Structure 1
Amino acid sequence: MEITGASALVTGGASGLGLATARRLARGGANVTIVDLPTSAGAEIAAELGGTFAAADVTDPEQVAAAVAAAAAPLRVVVNCAGIAPPAKVLDRDGTPSPLAAFTKVIQVNLIGTYNVLSQAAASMARTDPTDSGDRGVIVNTASVAAFDGQIGQPAYAASKGGIHALTLPVARELARYGIRVCTIAPGIMETPMLAGLPQAAQDSLGQQVPYPQRLGRPDEYAALVQHLIENGYLNGETIRLDGAIRMAPK
């Protein structure tokens, strides 16, 4: 799949991994549509990249349908980066179960939101004419190493990211008939806005937990892997860890 001239949609594209991906795809010649919340910097980023901003909540079917429709046709690339990671244990300090709504919210945004975008984008891709090589599109989802090494306080986040990993292969198998590939990236500890608020000493400590290189992952390293997944036509149905060989401790 060629990036130059392709239409690409990136959720969570106004910050973090999504922003790095949107910028890399735009530099590669793609027509980028950024999907993010109305309160985000999506409009400014889209203007900077010469792309389009589609304000949407990934859990809302109508808003996502409008965002997919706003992307330039034919849609060839979709990257799901939107997500949240509020910590919550199963039991709070006095042994009371944490509110179910908190768990539900994380699953709704991370897992169901990814599926909502994936399914509506796939429907759009399936209606397009294939390239000369038979390709119609590439969908890249974002899981996390928490899908495999979830820590204490991460049951909702780990479950949501584990779900994204689990749906990758069956969706890739189903969409193969349309020439649509589906892969997932499972990042480790990355330099994202979530971690940027921590003191530098805390960030350095997290980086030292990574076997090699001993640092936090960089958003553009995630974006570079997205680019490779798009361009390597034999990668399909796979979840790839991008983590410097880290295996997370219980806490």
Structure 2
Amino acid sequence: MSNILPVVLMAIPSYFVVVTIHELGHILTGLFHGFKFHLFVIGPIGLKRNEQDKVVFYFEKNPSLWGGVGGAVPKTEDSVNFMAFARVLIAGPLVSLVFGGIMLYLFILIDHPFLLLLGAMSVAISIGTLIPSRSGAFYSDGGRWLRIVRNTKARAVELALFNLIQSAIIHQCYAHINIADTQPLIDYEDHREQYFGHLYAMNYYKEHGDNRMAEKHGLELKTLESKVPKSFIKLMGE
């Protein structure tokens, strides 16, 4: 037990360091492409850009985000932003892999367990986020990157989703989204994409005062609620 405790005590700060490095990979790559900082969360502590365009500290209440989130968003709507976003996605895992390799090399030279933890955790996060998978609202970094760079139906869905989120964040409302972008999501086989599409369509019609269409999409959301994770619904409602 006495040998395990120091490892546990080192593992906690190691996790925070490697997740921060990973998310900074996303954020700094976004800034390099002319995006602006939007969000950083690790544990219950976060930084976000508020409605007054100021970066503020806050406490994140949604535990599904505590594992680490980092993002930068475009300043203006532009067709080149989509491929820049692909590079933002892949940057996190690649930065983690490089950082992990450096820490493992330093461990060989210095032989300190903290360096081994940093290296092993960072490489593990890199591999875990590169593997195409989906456990929450979005696919893993590697999964989304593959969906974007391959010329498939999934790419059209990712483009539509990116356009909707980009427009909603830039304009801070749903009224300016391209309603046509909701259709690829609604038509897709994954219920979470369908939920995204109906949610954005409902809010679009609400803000345009079309209560009939807003109610129609609201009913579709009710139907989908039993088919998507509760954590996903909670995240979409925030």
Same fold at TM > 0.5 = no
Q: Which has a greater percent of helix?
A: 2
Q: Which has the larger radius of gyration?
A: 2
Q: TM-score, normalised by structure 1?
A: 0.32
> Going by fraction, where is strand more abundant, 1 or 2?
1
